Amino acid sequence: MRRPDVVVVGAGSAGCVAARRCAEMGLKTLLLDKKPRSEVGQKVCGDEISKSHFEATGIEFPKDQEISSPIAGADVYPPSMSNELKVRGWTEFDGWTVNRLSFGQRLLNEAIDAGVAFRAENRVGSPILRKDRVVGIEYKDKGEEKKTYAKLVIDASGFAGTIRNKLDHPLVEKTIDKEDVALCYREIVKLKMPMAEPEVARVLLGGRVAPGGYAWIFPKGMQEVNAGVGIAGGSGKGSPKSHFLKFKKEYPLLIRSKVIDAAGGAVPVRRPLKSLVADGVAFVGDAAAQVNPIHGGGIGAGMRAGIILGEVAKRAIARKKLSAKGLWHYNISYQTNFGKRLASLEIFRRLLQAVSDEDMDFGFEKRILEAGDLMAANRGDGLSLGTVDKLRRFRRGVSRLSLLRDLQKASGLMKKISKTYDAYPSNPSALEKWNDSVLAIIESAEFG
């Protein structure tokens, strides 16, 4: 393809979906990945994805060998490992663990079938700029230096943000703060014994197991799991691998399990970038910080964005308006919907990270938060405690007023940030003022 309309950098879940949508909209689309074709889709991940993302995007459910296990519910454990919260019957949570490679290969094949030109083993180096506008990319095609010009460049390169991190543009957040990153390590292991509940995910909270994060055990069949630890980035928290190995020695289910695969990774756990576009460029997936800040799930969040972006790209190219302003509808569409949900969950993440293990144990014992609250928060409905509810919880939690106060404060801030996202600016010139108000809310989200 000599002169594509769109070039997409990175064939992860977000890049494949965005590229496919662009092609379906009739755009000449080139998709590049540094990996060999047979490895596209392979990714260090917890492998869990909820059905809701497929229902929202119209992307076909995983099937056959793409599915490792169906997931129907979770047990969430506090540090004491007792009084766990059993999340059952919430359909928006249920889904699958997937075989990442098969699933990723399917997304790639769907993009190619839609007309996307795909080039494997093409490592993108940097954007080509004309003044402030991105007009193409420089890359190495199996070692050979090349350039491609396009009307729109989409950075879908994942956590690396290969294009984003080279742009000096007032709309672009080049870097992500360390504190807003989860550092993870996970193993896929074969268990000694089959599981009693092979469709239930387990999540373990607390500073001892995973400072500022959590440990997970996601079933991948009767006798296989994806187990890992994610901890808050920033100094002094140790390595996720050492936390995981300690956890593995202590957690009965994992003892004497056989390692099938082991690796580490990182994921952004904050609100999406303040702007998902700049002149001639758009960001999607981890490159756009489109990840759920409390559990680090980003496959669905990026696929949702990819669909919107393809449609916006079509309109912008038809009107020959590839400036940030011309692409702005992607911001409005995503930020006022799913983006707002992610932003409100950043507040919740900050609350969870500030609660001591003792308070967390107390909260679970007294059921200060219930499964419905977690689901409502995840859905983007905040922590909406009614008056009767408040009284009931107040009675149960009266000996830890500070915890109740923090919960109340988080609930208020989640509402406030949601409203701010509802009022996402209609054009780039108002972005800085809007972002200042977001930052003021984030900065006030101090607890404990």
Ligand X SMILES: Cc1cc2nc3c(=O)[nH]c(=O)nc-3n(C[C@H](O)[C@H](O)[C@H](O)COP(=O)(O)OP(=O)(O)OC[C@H]3O[C@@H](n4cnc5c(N)ncnc54)[C@H](O)[C@@H]3O)c2cc1C
Mask 347-386, x = binds ligand X (CB under 6 A)?
Answer: ----------------------------------------
Among 212, 219, 265, 425, the residue binding ligand X under the rule CB under 6 A is 265
CB atoms under 10 Å from CB of 26, counted, come to 12
Q: If we measure between CA atoms, which residue out of 429, 184, 170 comes closest to residue 291?
A: 184
In the complex, least distance from residue 121 CB atom to ligand X, rounded to whole angstroms = 9
* Contact flag: residue 62 with ligand X (CB under 6 A): no
* Contact flag: residue 245 with ligand X (CB under 6 A): no
* Contact flag: residue 162 with ligand X (CB under 6 A): yes
Residues 292-321 that bind ligand X (CB under 6 A): 296-300, 302
Q: Which amino acid is it at 444?
A: S
* Contact flag: residue 286 with ligand X (CB under 6 A): yes
Among 4, 5, 12, 120, the residue binding ligand X under the rule CB under 6 A is 12
Residue range at the interface with ligand X (CB under 6 A); choices 10-18, 71-79, 252-260, 425-433: 10-18
* Contact flag: residue 72 with ligand X (CB under 6 A): no
Residues sharing a CB contact under 8 Å with residue 142, sequence separation 6 or more, in sequence order: 121, 122
Using an 8 Å Cβ cutoff, are 154 and 8 in contact? yes
Residues sharing a CB contact under 8 Å with residue 382, sequence separation 6 or more, in sequence order: 344, 376, 411, 414, 415, 418
Report the DSSP pairing between strands 6-9 and 152-155: parallel
Among 6, 11, 181, 441, the residue binding ligand X under the rule CB under 6 A is 11
How far is the C-alpha of 301 from the C-alpha of 273, rounded, in Å?
13
* Cβ-based nearer residue to ligand X, 12 or 62: 12
In the complex, least distance from residue 165 CB atom to ligand X, rounded to whole angstroms = 10
In the complex, least distance from residue 423 CB atom to ligand X, rounded to whole angstroms = 27
Among 4, 8, 13, 289, the residue binding ligand X under the rule CB under 6 A is 13
In the complex, least distance from residue 333 CB atom to ligand X, rounded to whole angstroms = 18
* Contact flag: residue 237 with ligand X (CB under 6 A): no
* Contact flag: residue 33 with ligand X (CB under 6 A): yes
Mask 104-143, x = binds ligand X (CB under 6 A)?
Answer: -------------------xx-------------------
In the complex, least distance from residue 210 CB atom to ligand X, rounded to whole angstroms = 12
As a whole number of angstroms, the longest Cα–Cα distance in the chain is 69
Among 6, 7, 8, 9, the residue binding ligand X under the rule CB under 6 A is 9
Find residue 7's DSSP bridge partners. Answer: 30, 153
Distance of CA 266 to the CA centre of its chain: 11
In the complex, least distance from residue 385 CB atom to ligand X, rounded to whole angstroms = 28
Residue range at the interface with ligand X (CB under 6 A); choices 23-31, 150-158, 245-253, 396-404: 150-158
In the complex, least distance from residue 302 CB atom to ligand X, rounded to whole angstroms = 4
Residue listed under structure tokens 């699958």:
96
Residue listed under structure tokens 């965005």:
18
Find residue 50's DSSP bridge partners. Answer: 95
Q: Is 308 exposed, middle or buried (0-12, 13-18, 19+ CB in 10 A)?
A: buried
In the complex, least distance from residue 352 CB atom to ligand X, rounded to whole angstroms = 17
Whole-number Cα distances in Å, 119 to 112, 247, 438: 10, 41, 39
How far is the C-alpha of 294 from the C-alpha of 341, rounded, in Å?
11
Q: Which amino acid is it at 13?
A: S
Among 72, 108, 282, 291, the residue binding ligand X under the rule CB under 6 A is 291
* Cβ-based nearer residue to ligand X, 83 or 165: 165
Cα angle 37, 162, 290; round to 5: 90
Three-state DSSP class for residue 238: coil
* Cβ-based nearer residue to ligand X, 272 or 363: 272
In the complex, least distance from residue 399 CB atom to ligand X, rounded to whole angstroms = 36
Using an 8 Å Cβ cutoff, are 43 and 20 in contact? no
The number of CA neighbours under 13 Å toward the Cβ of 115 is 12
Mask 175-194, x = binds ligand X (CB under 6 A)?
Answer: ---------x-x--------
Q: Is 396 exposed, middle or buried (0-12, 13-18, 19+ CB in 10 A)?
A: middle
Binding interface with ligand X (CB under 6 A) = 9-15, 32-35, 40, 43-49, 123-124, 156-158, 160, 162, 184, 186, 228, 265-267, 285-287, 291, 296-300, 302
